Structure formats: structure tokens, C-alpha cells
Amino acid sequence: MGVPAIEIPTVSDPGLDEAVKTLTTERIQEVINRIISKETAARFRTYLNTCVHCGLCSDACHWFLSNDRDPRFSPVGKVKQTLWEILKKKGRVDPYFLRECSRIAHTECNVCRRCSMYCPFGIDIAYLLLVIRRICSECGMVPQFLQDTVNSHAVTLNQMWVKQDEWIDTLQWQEEEMRSEVPTVRIPLDKEGADVFYSVIAPEPKILAQLIGNMALIMTVAGVDWTMPSFDGWDNSNMAMYSGDFEVMGRVERAHHEAALKLRAKRIVMGECGHAFRGAVYDGPRWLGWREPPVPVIHAVDFYHELIFSGKIKIARKFEEPVTVQDPCNIVRGRGLGQKLREIIQATCADFTPPEPAFEHNYCCGAGGGVINCGPPWKTSRVTGNRVKAEQLAATKAHIVITPCHNCHSGIEDVISVYKLGQHVKFFSEILVDVMEIPDELKAD
Amino acid sequence: MYEFASGPLVWIAFIVFLGGMTFQIVRMVQMAKKDKVIPYMSLKYGLRSLLHWVVPFASKNMRVRYEVTIVTFAFHLCLVLLPIFLTAHVAMFAFAWGARWATVSENLATFMTVLVILGGLFFLVRRLMLPEVRFVTSASDYLLLAIAAAPFVTGFAAHQQWFHYETMVLVHMISGAVMLMAIPFTRLSHMLFFPFTRAYMGSEFGAVRNAKDW
């Protein structure tokens, strides 16, 4: 055993504490045996039989690096403390042990997959931790805040308990806001056969509605034929994918794609969110048995790139403040959009300093993978678990961190405030509406 | 005993080794169907990833942990190649079957043996010293290292005429057979599975996610 360098404080979380009281070892064992025998196969077995316990994945993990190289935070260390123990005991583990599994798998791993790029065998360690999350979820052992978002998905098909009238009202409000600048701005609802079906994550109408307004302005200036649905399926986020409730994950992804199909949209453009993109493109379709998403899906970064480099959006002036970028795992390691992201930043910003490490090798923001959704109880461990991110951002000396992902945006905001970096976070759309040319004929008098 | 170790035991070892490997491959492919893995496999991206992980220093982690990379490549190359091209081994096959192939010189063989033993020692020390490795180490890890190193330690000792020569040769033969038979059924099976796990991750990163995994 390695010497534990730091004490991991016990965090009180009603989602976990209540589950400990009601669960039994027998129930846990039944769930574990069912999940492992019914839902795992080649990857699970082969990964476990191939891992030689070399520890070379450790240097990949921001949790490990930030916690003074404490071996409990290394990718394989997390697998050892959870899966290996479970298999050694043939699933006969007690509720307290399962609580530890949830802490490790739900709150101390961002399933960012950086470790797969450091494992000599390419073992998908994040997948093994998702199996643990699946087991925890089936046992009802999920951090309360995360489970609440899943409950919202299950009931409303969106993450934040947004009702349909609130959704439509928010869109109309944002449309009106933007009309003060460009009177022709419209957010066309339920338009059939549009070129673009635009979807967002539920926190946008709930707390960041101006982002929808930004997009309405961008779409209008670029002359895009677009629509948003007035009905369920508008939310492209998916926290069930991260809690381990794959049944709800499948329902949410199906609703999203079916909304686009119902409106016969040519393609789906997703807002600046990484996990939502992962859900819509990979995890969701795979669970549903679709090899590819039924409607082509592109991320906002890809879309902005198209608008800027096709000349549909012209840049009037460059953004002057020094900027750097957070390469979101799910669109850079998950879609290779790092180069396009740099191109749109260079087209719009005068002073860009790239981070180091970058592209696929960038560190996760620490918030992704559902970790930030575990809520305030886990904020301290999340931010102390990402000290390397603060060091990386500080080294760029940038004033603004461009984060084309909601989780990155919130996670990095926390890192900046706790480590007192004095920087600010912006979505790319905020930069774009600031610097793009609005033709005179579109402007309000 | 020597007759058994140099005859039937070799047969048994090779049959268990090859049979076990075949069994593991067949089982993996069957499970891969259930896992919805096969449709995502891409020859191009699988090979692209493999290439970056079988060429020394072609991946970032191999450059970061350069000392592990050097030892790992030397250890594995010698471990696989030496038994095949060792004069004494080729001579035994030639004696039994009349088949013969190229051999390495005695000096080179000794050098390669020493590399394997030193490599094994390096892995042992690393396991004991580095907290992140020690934390995930159990008795089985030491046992696997011992199984892999034993044929080389005993072969070296026999060649140097240390201890009782005949006994040492016998122990060497048995340890070689044990290693061969252990490969398909222990985590030494990374020899078999490594190309598949790497190629799958390469396929996911390359064909599905449009990204690099090295």
C-alpha cells in the first residue's frame, strides 16, 4: 500500500447517506451480479485481464497530479478501490463500501478519458468507472444533486424542471431582447424542414438565457434557416448518462433526436456544451442501438467555424484582451475540434496564448463527467482536485478563458475564483457577438 | 525427469499455450459481439494507434516516462526473441524434428538474458518504490513477474554452471513451461490482448472521435 499523503474528508450528501441506511449487502450483490453478467462483455473482461498494474496512467489524471500524486486518485487506483474489490468479494460488499464507490466514481473522476491516452494498452479506464456508476445508480447510491437532475430528466425530459410555457416564454423574451439591436431577429419555433435544428442545455433557459439571444442574433446576421422546438426534446443535456441511469439517458437522447426528425430538420446544431454532444453523438446512440445518430449533429464550434470561414459572418474588429482557451474533453478529445477552435479564436481575437498542455492532452476542467452536478457538497474536493488547471491557466497570463462548454465554463469559473487567478470566462458566442459585423440594413434605427 | 521435461512437458506447454490463446481469442470475439464493439473497429485507425505504441517514444507518455520506455522495450524484445533464437533451444528442436533456424551468438544471448533480468529487477524496484504502482500491487503482480523472469534467471544460472547443473537445467525447463502455460490464463495475456485493446481505443479515437490517442 502506498502512504496516503492527504486525508480525504467525509462529505455529507443526503443522496448517499440515505442510501446507506436502506441498502443491504444482498441487494447490492444482486445488482452487481446482474450488471456484470448482463451488461458487460468483451471490453470489461479484456481490460481487467490486460491491465498489468503498471500505474502509467497516473500522470494523465488531474486529480492525481493536483492531490500531490496521492495514489488513491490515480485512474488505476480508483479502479482498485472500487472494481477490483467488488470482484474480489464477488459483489458481496456493504452499503458503506458502495458509498465510497460512488464518491470515487461520481465525484472524483470526470470520465474525461485522458488516461486512455497514457495507458500503454489503451484501456478505457473511464468506462470501468462508468460501470461502477451504473452499479451505484441501480442501487440508488447517487449524490443528491446529480440524482435530482436525473429525476428532472425523467419527469420533464429536461435537466432543470423547466416547464413548456417557461421554455417558450424564455425564447420569446430573448427574441424581444435582441430585437432592440436587430429588429428582424426571430427564434422560429417548430419550423419544418429547416436547415438547422438548434438545441441547448436546460441551464440556458434557466440561468443563462442571454446565450440563446446571442445565438438568435448570430443566426439572423448569418441568414441561417433555423428552428427550435417548442416541445420536449429541446434540451440536449444528459446527466443520466453520468449518474449511470442509462434507461433515462436513452429516453432523453431519443427525445432529442426525434424532435429534430419530427421537424424534418437537415441537421442538429448543438450549443456550446461538451457532455451534451457526447450524449447525442456517442453514448446515447450506442445505448439505443444506433450506430450513428439519425440526424447529422454538429457542435457550435464547428458551426461557428463554418459561418466565419464561409463569410456568412464577417468580423468587424478583433477582440483585444489577451485570451486563452479551454479545450473541452468531449469536443476535442471527443471530436477533434481543437484546430477549428483555434482557427475561430484567431479569426476573432488579437491576442491568443494557447495553454500547455493542449488539444487532446489538455487537462479536464474538473467539472465535467457530471462531477459539478454533484453539487455544493463536493465543490471543495472538485476544485482542490484541479490545482493543475489553475497553474496551467495562470501560466498563459490571459485575462479571458474561452470555454465552449458549459461544464468547463462553470468549472473554470470556480477554479479561477478559488485560486484567485483574476481571469474571466467567456463562451465563444459572447466574443462573436461582440466582434461580428452587423450590416447597417439589419441594425435598429 | 529430464526426459519428461525435455519431451512431453514441452508438448504440454505448447499445446496449453496455443490452445489457451485460441480459446481466449474465440471468447473475446464472442463477447465483443455482445458488447457492440465490432462495428466500431477500424483497421486504419487501429493500426495507426498501434504504430504509435509499438515504436519507442512515438507517444507522449513514452517520452514523459522515457526510462520505463527504454526498459520495457528492451525487456519485451529480449524476452520474446531470445527463447526463439537461442542456440541450445534451436539445437533441441533440430535434434527432435530436424528443423533448424538462425541463432544468436553466445555473447549476445548472455547480454539479452542479463537485460531481461535487469528489466525484471527494474520493474520490481519500481513496484516497490513508486507509491502509485505500489498502491495497485498485490501478490499476484510479484508472482507474474517471477514467472516471467524465472526462465531467464535459471537459464543464466545453468549456463554459468552455478549450483548443480542438471538440476538447474531441469528447473529452467519447468519454469519455461510454466511461463508458456501461464500466458493465456493470467494477466501475462496482455501479450495477446494488447493489440486488440489498443486497436479498439485507436478506432474509437480515430474513426469515431476524430482525435489522436498517443
DSSP string, A98-139: HHHHHIIIIIS------GGGTSTT---HHHHHHHHHHHHHHT
Chain B hits for A80, Cβ within 8 Å: 135-136
Q: Which residue of A has its CA nearest to B137?
A: A53
Taking only the tens place, the pLDDT of each residue in A226-279 is: 999 999 999 999 999 999 999 999 999 999 999 999 999 999 999 999 999 999
Residue A424 phi/psi, 5° resolution? Answer: -130, 155
Give the three-state DSSP class for A400.
strand
Distance CA A45, CA B37 (A): 13
Q: Which residue of A has its CA nearest to B192?
A: A50
Kindly report the number of other CB atoms within 10 A of residue A164's CB atom. 13
CA A386 to chain centroid, in Å, comes to 16
Smallest CA-to-CA distance from A193 within A296, A265, A268 is with: A265
> Is pLDDT at B68 greater than 90 in this prediction?
yes
Q: What average pLDDT does this structure show over A354-365?
A: 97
Residue B135 phi/psi, 5° resolution? Answer: -60, -35
Q: What average pLDDT does this structure show over B119-127?
A: 98
How high is the pLDDT of residue B100? 85
Taking only the tens place, the pLDDT of each residue in A379-436 is: 999 999 999 999 999 999 999 999 999 999 999 999 999 999 999 999 999 999 999 9
Q: Do B201 and A122 touch (CB under 8 A)?
A: yes
Name which of A41, A50, A77 is nearest B197 (Cβ-Cβ): A50
Contacts of residue B101, defined as CB under 8 A and 6 or more positions apart, other chains included, come to B85, B90
Smallest CA-to-CA distance from A263 within A288, A232, A228 is with: A228
B73 touches A at CB < 8 Å: no
CA B146 to chain centroid, in Å, comes to 13
Segment (H or E) for A197? strand A196-199
Taking only the tens place, the pLDDT of each residue in A20-42 is: 999 999 999 999 999 999 999 99
- Measure A72 CA to nearest chain B CA, in Å: 8
Query: In this structure, are residues A349 and A304 in contact, taking their beta carbons and an 8 Å threshold?
Result: no
Distance CA A340, CA B148 (A): 47
CA B104 to chain centroid, in Å, comes to 19
Chain B hits for A54, Cβ within 8 Å: 68, 133
Q: What average pLDDT does this structure show over A131-153?
A: 98
How many residue pairs from chains A and B have C-beta atoms closer than 8 A?
146
Q: What average pLDDT does this structure show over B27-35?
A: 92
State the DSSP string of B9-38: HHHHHHHHHHHHHHHHHHHHHHHHHHTT-G
Query: In this structure, are residues B39 and B207 in contact, taking their beta carbons and an 8 Å threshold?
Result: no
Chain A hits for B62, Cβ within 8 Å: 120
Q: What is the mean pLDDT of chain A?
A: 96
B133 touches A at CB < 8 Å: yes
Taking only the tens place, the pLDDT of each residue in A285-313 is: 999 999 899 999 999 999 999 999 999 99
Q: Do A71 and B141 touch (CB under 8 A)?
A: no
> Is pLDDT at A2 greater than 70 in this prediction?
no
> Is pLDDT at A1 greater than 80 in this prediction?
no
Kindly report the number of other CB atoms within 10 A of residue A359's CB atom. 18
Name which of A47, A54, A71 is nearest B131 (Cβ-Cβ): A71
Each residue of A407-423: b (16+ CB within 10 Å) or e? bbbbbbbbbbebbebeb
Q: What average pLDDT does this structure show over A89-107?
A: 98
Q: Which residue of A has its CA nearest to B54?
A: A120
| Pairing status of strand A196-199 against strand A267-270 | parallel
Name which of B34, B64, B209 is nearest A59 (Cβ-Cβ): B64
| Pairing status of strand A226-227 against strand A196-199 | parallel
Q: Which residue of B has its CA nearest to A73?
A: B132
Taking only the tens place, the pLDDT of each residue in A164-220 is: 999 999 999 999 999 999 999 999 999 999 999 999 999 999 999 999 999 999 999
Q: Best interface-test mutation with A: which of B26, B34, B40, B135 has the largest number of A CBs within 10 A? A: B135
Query: In this structure, are residues A334 and A383 in contact, taking their beta carbons and an 8 Å threshold?
Result: no
Distance CA A332, CA A341 (A): 9
Q: What average pLDDT does this structure show over B87-115?
A: 93
**Would you give the end-to-end CA distance of chain B in angstroms?**
49
| Pairing status of strand A400-402 against strand A323-325 | parallel
Taking only the tens place, the pLDDT of each residue in A315-326 is: 999 999 999 999
A87 touches B at CB < 8 Å: no
A127 touches B at CB < 8 Å: no
Q: What is the mean pLDDT of chain B?
A: 95
Percentage of residues of chain A with pLDDT beyond 90: 97
- Measure B208 CA to nearest chain A CA, in Å: 8
Percentage of residues of chain A with pLDDT beyond 70: 99
Confidence band of A3 (pLDDT split at 50, 70, 90): low
Confidence band of B97 (pLDDT split at 50, 70, 90): confident
Chain A hits for B134, Cβ within 8 Å: 1-2, 71
Sign of the C-alpha dihedral computed for residues A167, A168, A174 and A178 taken in this order: positive
ipTM of the complex: 0.94
How high is the pLDDT of residue B3? 86
Taking only the tens place, the pLDDT of each residue in B146-164 is: 999 999 999 999 999 999 9
